[in-house]
Amino acid sequence: MQPIISCREVYKSFNGGTLFKKKKPVRALVDINFDVRSGECFGLIGPNGSGKSTLIRILSTLLFPDKGQAYVCGMDVVKKPYRVRPLISRVSVDAAFFKKLSAWENLRYSARLYGVPLKLAKERALDVLAELGFPTKRFNDSMEDLSRGMQQKVAVARALINRPLVLLLDEPTTGLDPRSKREVEAYIQRLKSQTELTIFLTTHDMYEAEHLCDRVAIIDKGRIVALDTPKRLKRILARKRGTNRVSLEDVFLELTHKEWVEDVEEDETDKKD
């Protein structure tokens, strides 16, 4: 079966320095290779500056790789971006909205872009928001009056309004309060179990990666250093250490040789996107 997402030797760099002071280019992605199967929830975890958001932006056709090929639903994201875009949706760590407009007005705008009838769009949006615990009475409130958690729930509803085949989630729960975080994670779990949607998730949360993802790739300095199921990755490290008490965070620290720091800010590589 053809993979839904596929990367082959993907390489991406950014020019360093300023107009007056040049530096060596920053290598964001180096020789990225992986496949994602239909209906799979695939996780990408890595330190700040490792290239996570760069890769997800390439898959969403917002950036082009310098070398290599990336495919979504069998189509090259560089050669056929306009055919890829109707099949995907993306939720970022800091989703952009028209802040003066209401939640429904923002959703209605997106529905028109995708050609989704407004009545159907409203039904879909309300269904998703209800499952996420979004209060219906806030549906017509302006986005600037909604909490960060409520805004992210609207972002999830917006991403699903066109019924995409691929959902790209770029740290969707970072910075959320515990209740909103749990509600978003529970909804992702329901999408996994009840639909054929393929999910590509970047996250800083090891618990989230382990419990939501069928497989995870660990990326460090732009390179994928491990790719397998969370269970197998832990088993490999457990054998190496001679113990059964190994977490996915232990695997992460072992492979990246970095202290784990939870950071809600964009990393330096991501800012260059």
| Among candidate residues 72, 52, 86, 58, the one with its CA nearest the CA of residue 223 | 52
Q: Tokens 């959902």 sit at which residue?
A: 167
CATH number of the domain to which 20 belongs: 3.40.50.300
User: For residues 13 and 272, what is the distance between their CA atoms, to the nearest angstrom?
Assistant: 10
What are the CB-based long-range contacts (under 8 Å, 24+) for 127-131?
Answer: 128/156, 128/157, 128/160, 128/187, 129/153, 129/154, 129/157, 131/187, 131/190
Domains of the chain: total: 1
* 102 phi-psi bin (left φ>0, alpha ψ -120 to 50, beta other): beta
Residue 23's pLDDT is what?
A: 74
Query: How does pLDDT run across 64-100, given as a tens digit for each residue?
Result: 999 999 999 999 999 999 999 999 999 988 888 999 9
Quick check: 138 pLDDT over 50?
Answer: yes
User: For residues 229 and 105, what is the distance between their CA atoms, to the nearest angstrom?
Assistant: 40
Mean pLDDT of the chain: 89
> C-alpha dihedral over 255, 36, 28, 51, to 10 degrees?
-60
What number of other Cβ atoms are within 10 A of residue 125's Cβ? 26
Quick check: 266 pLDDT over 70?
Answer: no
Cβ(170)–Cβ(91) below 8 Å: yes
Quick check: 159 pLDDT over 50?
Answer: yes
Of 159-173, 211-225, 232-246, the least confident: 232-246
**pLDDT tier for residue 137 given thresholds of 50, 70 and 90:** very high
Higher pLDDT, 268 or 256: 256
Quick check: 265 pLDDT over 60?
Answer: no
What number of other Cβ atoms are within 10 A of residue 148's Cβ? 12
Residue 20's pLDDT is what?
A: 63
pTM of the model: 0.88
Residue 267's pLDDT is what?
A: 42
Query: How does pLDDT run across 178-217, given as a tens digit for each residue?
Result: 999 999 999 999 999 999 999 999 998 899 999 999 999 9
CB burial of residue 134 (10 Å; 0-12, 13-18, 19+): buried
For the segment 41-54, the average pLDDT, to the nearest whole number, is 90
Of 116-130, 150-164, 250-264, the least confident: 250-264
Residue 17's pLDDT is what?
A: 62
Give the rounded percent of residues in the chain with a pLDDT score beyond 90.
Answer: 73
Residue 47's pLDDT is what?
A: 84
Cβ(229)–Cβ(248) below 8 Å: no
Quick check: 14 pLDDT over 80?
Answer: yes
Quick check: 145 pLDDT over 70?
Answer: yes
List 32's β-bridge partners, or say none. 10
**pLDDT tier for residue 18 given thresholds of 50, 70 and 90:** low
Higher pLDDT, 48 or 63: 63
Quick check: 273 pLDDT over 80?
Answer: no
The domain containing residue 164 runs over which residues? Answer: 5-271
Residue 271's pLDDT is what?
A: 43
